[in-house]
Amino acid sequence: MLVHDNFLHFGMHGKHYCSVFDVMGPTLLDVINNFEDNDELMDIQLVKHITRQVLIGLVYMHEVCGMIHTDLKPENVMIGLDSTI
């Protein structure tokens, strides 16, 4: 996934750094809720895959971009729709 653009937004709550990405799929919270709604457990391999991808993203943000994600929670993690998984 590439960053297409970034910009500053000045609103009633102050300055916000915004990034523009490709359209993504559901949030991680949507995926978790889907499993819970169907009374299913998420396969451990899927949990490991998601965890690895989130950690890779966080390391990239920190080491390459010099940014720190300050609000990491399932509803803020977007799932990319990739047919290779």
Q: Which residues are catalytic?
A: 71
Q: In angstroms, rounded to a whole number, what is the distance separating the alpha carbons of residues 5 and 55?
A: 23
Question: What is the DSSP track for 20-61?
Answer: E------BHHHHHHHHHHTT-PPPHHHHHHHHHHHHHHHHHH
Q: What are phi and psi of 11, to 5 degrees?
A: -125, -170
